[in-house]
Amino acid sequence: MDEQAPRLAVWKFASCDGCQLTLLDCEDELLSVAARLEIAYFLEASSAPGPGPYDLSLVEGSITTPEDLERIRHVRRVSRRLVTIGACATAGGVQALRDFAGVKEFASVVYARPDYIATLDRSTPISAHVPVDFELRGCPIDRRQLLEVISAFLAGRRPVVPAHSVCVECKARGNVCVMVAHGTPCLGPVTQAGCGALCPSFNRGCYGCFGPMESPNAAGLNHWLRGLGMSTPELVRIYRTYHATTEPFQRAAEEAEEHG
């Protein structure tokens, strides 16, 4: 391997490992990645943590413990570029649902000895604590987009990760709109593209796991979804999943409650 190859690190915080697995899932391309980058720290794939500094750090997971807070500052210090991967690292993830209730209460229900649990009141994205160079969305992230981010980093260009709606991809793929043709509620119009319109391709509505698109009009969509028969609790629930605390989706759920 080239002595000068840029060094890649992959870090994990509160998460399910699914986004890291996406990197392993790149199979053929992973060999190319390994040829162009030195994979210096990646516990999921190797047990030998390499010393910093790193040219590119991919960070999975949200910040949920006091220890996380220290560690993410360390990661930032040893990383030239820091890219968050996935909904947890970018938006707090599904575990940010704790923000809407008391975390102590949850802990007392879940754990036999809640006093052993040292956790923060909220699950927060990486960007709430350190500067982030790029945020890759998705729950989990899309493997093509991950490879694009790595390629773009190597080529010195802006990653081609459009912030427009899922609908653009859905139509390019040739899907029939599940909302118009089947009456299936779909968050595609307010959700950022990137997944290749996966769920609508299987006649399911979009669950919004890539988070809000660049100019989401959730109030406009909510009005129509009510017409399709969705109740207020259902509307609140569809926005309170992977990006519950991201401002546009948080507001969308509140808007649904206000007009309920």
Partner 1 sequence: MDAVVIESLEPLIAELRSRGFAVVGPVVRDGAIRFEEIASAGRLARGVTDDQEPGRYRLRETGDEMIFSFAASPDSAKRYTQPPRQALFRMRGERIEEAEEEAPRIALLGVRACDLAAIGVQDRVFLGGRHPDPAYRLRREALLLVAVNCAVPGGTCFCVSMGTGPRVTAGHDIALTELAAPHRFVVEIGSERGEEIVRALPRAPASARDQADAEEVSRTAAGRMGRQVETEGIQERLSAHDSPRWQQVGARCLTCANCTMVCPTCFCTTVEDSTSLADGTAERVERWDSCFTLGFSEVNGTPVRGSNPGRYRQWLTHKFSTWIDQFGMSGCVGCGRCITWCPVGIDVTEELANLP
Partner 2 sequence: MISHPMTPVVYRVRSRRPDRVDTVTLTLEPLRGDCPPFLPGQFTMLYAPGVGEIPVSISGRSRSGGYAQTIRAVGAVSAALCGKRPGEVVGVRGPYGHGWGVPAAAGLDVVVAAGGLGIAPLRPVVRALLAGRDRYGRVSVIAGARSPATLMYPRELARWSRQGADVQVIVDHPDHAWHGPVGLVTRLVDRIVFEPRRTHAFVCGPEAMMRATAEELLRRGVAPARVELSLERNMKCAVVRCGHCQFGPLFVCEDGPVLGYDRAGPMLAVAEL
Decide if residue 164 touches partner 2 (CB under 8 A). Answer: no
Separation between Cα atoms, residue 228 and residue 221, nearest integer Å: 11
Q: Which of 107, 117, 168, 230 binds partner 1 (CB under 8 A)?
A: 168
**How many other CB atoms are there within 10 angstroms of residue 80's CB atom?**
14
Place of tokens 């729950």: 139
What is the identity of the amino acid at 9? Answer: A
Which one of partner 1, partner 2, none is in contact with 21 (Cβ closer than 5 to 8 A by kind)? none
Separation between Cα atoms, residue 148 and residue 207, nearest integer Å: 23
Number of residues forming the site for partner 2 (CB under 8 A): 4
Q: Which of 51, 156, 174, 227 binds partner 2 (CB under 8 A)?
A: 156
Compare residues 64 and 175 and give the one whose CB is closer to partner 1.
Answer: 175
Separation between Cα atoms, residue 220 and residue 242, nearest integer Å: 21
Which one of partner 2, partner 1, none is in contact with 186 (Cβ closer than 5 to 8 A by kind)? partner 1
Decide if residue 48 touches partner 1 (CB under 8 A). Answer: no
Is residue 140 reached through a cis peptide bond, with omega within 30 degrees of 0 on the bond before it? Answer: yes
**CA 136 from centre of chain:** 6
Compare residues 74 and 173 and give the one whose CB is closer to partner 1.
Answer: 173
* Closest to 104 (Cα-Cα) out of 96, 116, 114, 94: 114
Q: Which of 118, 158, 180, 202 binds partner 2 (CB under 8 A)?
A: 158
Separation between Cα atoms, residue 239 and residue 96, nearest integer Å: 12
Q: Smallest gap, in angstroms, from Cβ of residue 183 to partner 2?
A: 33
CB 104 within 8 A of CB 97: no
Compare residues 111 and 181 and give the one whose CB is closer to partner 1.
Answer: 181
Binding mask 171-210 for partner 1 (x = CB under 8 A): xxxxxxx-xxxxx--x-xxx------------x-------
Compare residues 211 and 216 and give the one whose CB is closer to partner 1.
Answer: 216
CB 14 within 8 A of CB 63: yes
Binding mask 9-28 for partner 1 (x = CB under 8 A): --------------------
What tokens appear for 227 in the block? 């017409």
Name the burial class of residue 102, with classes exposed (0-12), middle (13-18) and buried (19+) by CB atoms within 10 angstroms of its CB: exposed
* Contact residues: partner 2, CB under 8 A: 155-158
Residues that bind partner 1 (CB under 8 A): 29, 32-33, 35-36, 147-148, 150-152, 154-155, 157, 160, 162-165, 167-168, 171-177, 179-183, 186, 188-190, 203, 213-217, 219-221, 223-224
